[in-house]
Amino acid sequence: MKKHLLLTILIISVLALFGCGNTNGNGSDTGSGGGSAKAEETVKIAYLPITHSLAVLEEADELANNDKVNVELVKYGSWPELLDALNSGKVDGASVLIELAMKSKAEGVGIKAVALGHKDGNVLIVSNEVKDGADLKGRTIAIPHRQSSHNILVNDALAKNGLTIDDINVVELAPTEMPSALVTGTIDGYCVAEPFGAVGVSTGKAKVLYTSEELWENSICCALVLTDDFIDKHADTAKAFVEGYKTAGNNLDAEAAKKIAGKYLKQKDDVLETSLKWISYDDLDITEEQYNKLVDKVKEYGLSDNPPAYSDFVKTDF
């Protein structure tokens, strides 16, 4: 009797052992012949809800039903939060201010810039009381972060008018706070990622003093970066992702950009229409000439004394 019982228990155990490796249902693995498993690999990308991130948001939509790469978007509310996730490896990559990524790289974080986030798309917004560039003297101007192209553009605007950063009061504010701060008179102007410049203009209390191309032709602002760990361990997926990203950027004409912005940014149509007039997403390769110009400005305006070299930081060979 005991022998029969032991034999029965043994048979049940063996069946359970082999059965647990081929299950169906949410979150479980299936065998190669199961028919329900997907072949894609997931790349987890951090972003802020700004127009500068539209290329990666568009790619996520375009790749939603493919069988190679799945883009998992992770939204953050501030650059410090996003940077912490990137630097700690909580995400595989990010659409991020390139100067922040350069600083992380210089501090030993294993990341590579693989494409631009966008082209142009920044404006220096001032209150209607500011007459011209020379009238910036003594004013309070907000930027989102010291390590940003917005800081560089403010410096460029000052230099254009014979001023320096010491001639104004610079404050760091969250992008969402800038339009209301200008309306209430807390600040006199700001330079930040879109659509918050357009939000300021929509209030009727602000105007565009300079667009980025008027100050710095072919300026670099945001970049798509991937961690070295993800690139090394998932080379084929990284290549497919970057190729898909650039294709998504080329597909972002005015109509497509407005559609994807409307889905993710939750802004009024007139704000998006204004904002999208200042930005483009085609041809998102980072050239050495562009990058070296950025490096020169980073050094000139004191953002960094030792930014990473193009060959160490920018990856183009996939």
Q: Under 8 Å CB-to-CB from 132, ≥6 apart: which residues?
A: 161, 209
DSSP alpha helix (H) spans, 107-195: 149-160, 178-183
**41-120+220-306 and 123-215 have identical folds:** yes
Report the pLDDT averaged over residues 151-179: 97
Q: Is 49 helix (H, G, I), strand (E, B) or coil?
A: coil
Fill in the amino acid letter for 318. F
What confidence tens digit (pLDDT) does each residue in 51-88 have?
999 999 999 988 877 778 899 999 999 999 999 999 99
Q: What is the mean pLDDT of residues 20-26?
A: 35
pLDDT, tens digit, 9 for 90 and up, residues 124-137: 999 999 999 999 99
Mean pLDDT of 4-22: 36
In terms of pLDDT, which residue wins out, 39 or 292? 292
Q: What per-residue confidence (pLDDT) applies to 101?
A: 98
**Domain-by-domain residue ranges, the chain?**
41-120+220-306, 123-215
Region for residue 218 given its phi and psi (left: phi exceeds 0; alpha: psi -120 to 50; beta: otherwise)? left
Quick one: pLDDT band at residue 31, thresholds 50, 70, 90?
very low
Q: Does the structure show a pLDDT above 90 at 6?
A: no
The yes-or-no verdict on residue 141 having pLDDT over 90 is: yes
Mean pLDDT, the chain, as a whole number? 88
pLDDT of 18 > 90? The answer is no
CA distance 238 to 233: 9
Averaged pLDDT, 141-151: 97
Listing DSSP states for 237-249 in one string gives HHHHHHHHHHHHH
What Cα–Cα distance (Å) separates residue 292 from each residue in 43, 57, 205, 280? Answer: 29, 28, 37, 21
Question: For residue 16, what pLDDT band results from cuts at 50, 70 and 90?
Answer: very low
pLDDT at 2 over 50: no
CB 206 within 8 A of CB 128: yes
41-120+220-306: CATH topology is: D-Maltodextrin-Binding Protein; domain 2 (3.40.190)
pLDDT at 67: 75
Q: Is the pLDDT of residue 45 over 60?
A: yes
189: confidence class by pLDDT, cuts 50, 70, 90: very high
Does 287 have pLDDT greater than 70? yes
Q: How confident is the model at residue 24 (pLDDT cuts 50, 70, 90)?
A: very low
Asked if pLDDT for residue 95 goes beyond 70, the answer is yes
Which one, of 248, 249, 226, lies nearest residue 237 by Cα?
226
Fold of 123-215: D-Maltodextrin-Binding Protein; domain 2 (3.40.190)
Q: When comparing pLDDT for 39 and 76, which is higher?
A: 76
Residues 6+ apart with CB under 8 A from 284: 55, 115, 116, 117, 118, 119, 224, 245, 246, 249
pTM of the prediction?
A: 0.85
